[in-house]
Structure 1
């Protein structure tokens, strides 16, 4: 074999010798193979890094988003301890054990200069009553024909029947403060039980009770589940617009409203209620008007105020009851995470965004009534 610099040439006679060049079966040099191995390792490393990056990214999203979805559960404000609940139950039991005191609430309201203006108001609308100088909800101006048709469909316009001459009444508010208080069995023992709108009893009997004597409501707030009207004596319409009277007439007479009329409600309304015509009433708008006037003295606002159905129910109770007790009243605006209603997960901060009602003025009025002993606060938030 002749050897040159950097080269070797095999002689014909050297067939059995091992060549100095790499074998033909291996087309890559060791350097190339090493680089290829490094490239494969690099690609594998990049794939691992990509997987790791995706895992980290998903973890970050979970850390940010999962608490947001669970925040409603984590930020619930606890209304009170078991000892406080027991004290409330004992107070409620003591009130129920006492004999009914005739005229108790009215006598104490009379001694209060401003709230005294809320007495001696006819409760339900009937022919010959009603203020025609203001439009709904503070009056009936422009609703003459609708009122006439609605009253014509109602066989009764008086108070619910009852043999007792002295009545203990419970006004059950929708406040989250009622949740967990176990007052349901106590509430059911009252002679008259007043509720508002679609606040349910079905599934909430332990806290809210199961009986309803009077349910105040407007079309958009009427319960949509027929079972909610079970054990209900009276469904009383609170008129916010003339169309509400047409809706009541439709429900009582079983004659559906036109599709055009339904377009003017701000949400879908039910077409039927499983009650007889004698179970329906219309709340006298004078209650709304006079309550709004009283609330103006507490708020200082010059505009005509629209009270909530809760305060309307309290004023109505003062007209028909000897003793008035409240359950589920007061908005805990100091704790945005507190339950707004006892039957849903909506929080108190939702109430802060509404501008229709002045709940602060209503709270002042209710606290004055409680302080004077005119009404009893079963849930202890006033």
Structure 2
């Protein structure tokens, strides 16, 4: 031992135990372990963060990128040329005959249930009975707006015509209309009733140049002025009281408030390029009585809201002697079939909706066709 003043230090030999840790290990094993765990945790968090960013970007790409990619035009599957030619020949034969006065109504009278679809006033007039139900089956709660709208409309009757016998066609929007080349045939009818949409995707041989009555509602009213060319009149189908307010705005040119516009489920146009004398309001009794008849064909009893298509057919039965249909029939057995002759919606979209009962409507239409009360020009019923 080396002794210094107030200090003594032992000489360390090979067998003595060091008083201090070795220089190569300045930290305790416990500290080293915690540091290793912290490093692994940091690396794990970084990896998780990077993975989360990658997954998030992948999800956004899957949702957003397809919206900016070009959408291929739908491919149309037409009937065979022989079937199409047969339909054209049948249509030509029908047009070559003289119009039969009262034909469709007399045939409907032979059917016990559809007979309830006759003798209904077509358009609203002053004094028209208003059913005590909310729109679209009545006008409860919007009587004052209806009175205001009728005051702004000079005429409320059906189209005037010199024909002693009216031959009419109701043009639907079914995909089965595509490729039938019925445009020139449809133009030969006295009254042509259409729904909201316009034939912007049809070929020249299928285009029809005239429209006598077009059923519309605010969200479905055509937005382009040329879509109203050669249109004699439009008739509003009021699905809600705000639809009447929209019509008043269109006729009087007084804009709706921004608050009112918020309650439409899509953008609505502010004006229609037609004069007030060319605008009507469909009598909701047509919707109400059609719904009552459809209930007899439905599997479940419920308040039935008819489609615009069946509504237009019932309208035609009130003003026409002979009624033909084009573009009707839901092919629910083939969910991949085109729903409309325009766009890319498929037939399975009708199964997802709960407002209309298209199965009940199909049964009713087939009964009318079988009784020859109406003629199906496209052969889908």
- TM-score range (shorter-chain normalised) is 0.7 to 0.9
Aligned counterparts, 1:97-112, within 5 A:
97-112=96-111
Distance 2:203 2:233 in 1: 20
Q: Give the aligned partner of residue 343 of structure 2.
A: 344
Conservation of the 8 A alpha-carbon contact between 1:204 and 1:343: no
Distance 2:140 2:167 in 1: 35
Q: Secondary structure at the match of 2:194?
A: strand
Instruction: Confirm or deny that 1:153 pairs with 2:152.
Output: yes
Distance 2:160 2:83 in 1: 37
Aligned counterparts, 1:256-295, within 5 A:
256-295=255-294
TM-score scaled by structure 2? 0.79
Q: Give the aligned partner of residue 84 of structure 2.
A: 85
Distance 1:144 1:73 in 2: 45
Conservation of the 8 A alpha-carbon contact between 1:214 and 1:234: yes
State the Cα deviation string for residues 245-304 of structure 1 (Å, max 9, x = none): 111111111111111110111111000110000000000000000000000000032211
Q: Give the aligned partner of residue 124 of structure 1.
A: 123
Distance 1:201 1:157 in 2: 30
Q: Which runs of 5+ in 2 are unaligned?
A: 1-64
Q: Secondary structure at the match of 2:206?
A: helix
Distance 2:129 2:300 in 1: 25
Q: Give the aligned partner of residue 325 of structure 2.
A: 326
Q: Give the aligned partner of residue 309 of structure 1.
A: 308
Aligned counterparts, 1:184-333, within 5 A:
184-200=183-199, 204=203, 206-333=205-332
Deviation at 1:310, TM superposition (A): 0.1
Conservation of the 8 A alpha-carbon contact between 1:72 and 1:345: no
Q: Secondary structure at the match of 2:323?
A: strand
Deviation at 1:101, TM superposition (A): 0.3
Distance 2:276 2:131 in 1: 25
Distance 2:174 2:289 in 1: 24
Instruction: Confirm or deny that 1:362 pairs with 2:361.
Output: yes
Q: Give the aligned partner of residue 19 of structure 1.
A: none
Q: Give the aligned partner of residue 29 of structure 1.
A: none
Deviation at 1:343, TM superposition (A): 1.8
Conservation of the 8 A alpha-carbon contact between 1:202 and 1:210: no
State the Cα deviation string for residues 207-257 of structure 1 (Å, max 9, x = none): 251210000011011001110100001100001111101111111111111
Q: Give the aligned partner of residue 18 of structure 2.
A: none
Conservation of the 8 A alpha-carbon contact between 1:153 and 1:253: yes
Conservation of the 8 A alpha-carbon contact between 1:338 and 1:348: yes
Conservation of the 8 A alpha-carbon contact between 1:210 and 1:231: yes
Deviation at 1:348, TM superposition (A): 1.4
Deviates more, 1:298-307 or 1:227-236: 298-307
Deviation at 1:131, TM superposition (A): 2.3
Q: How many residues align?
A: 315
Structure with the largest fraction of helix? 1
Conservation of the 8 A alpha-carbon contact between 2:105 and 2:118: yes
Q: Secondary structure at the match of 2:235?
A: strand
Cα separation, partners in 2 of 1:143 and 1:205, compared to 1, 3 Å: farther
TM-score scaled by structure 1? 0.79
Q: Secondary structure at the match of 1:347?
A: coil
Conservation of the 8 A alpha-carbon contact between 1:250 and 1:271: yes
Cα separation, partners in 2 of 1:202 and 1:157, compared to 1, 3 Å: farther
Deviation at 1:132, TM superposition (A): 3.7
Conservation of the 8 A alpha-carbon contact between 1:187 and 1:208: no
Conservation of the 8 A alpha-carbon contact between 1:136 and 1:239: yes
Conservation of the 8 A alpha-carbon contact between 2:177 and 2:326: yes
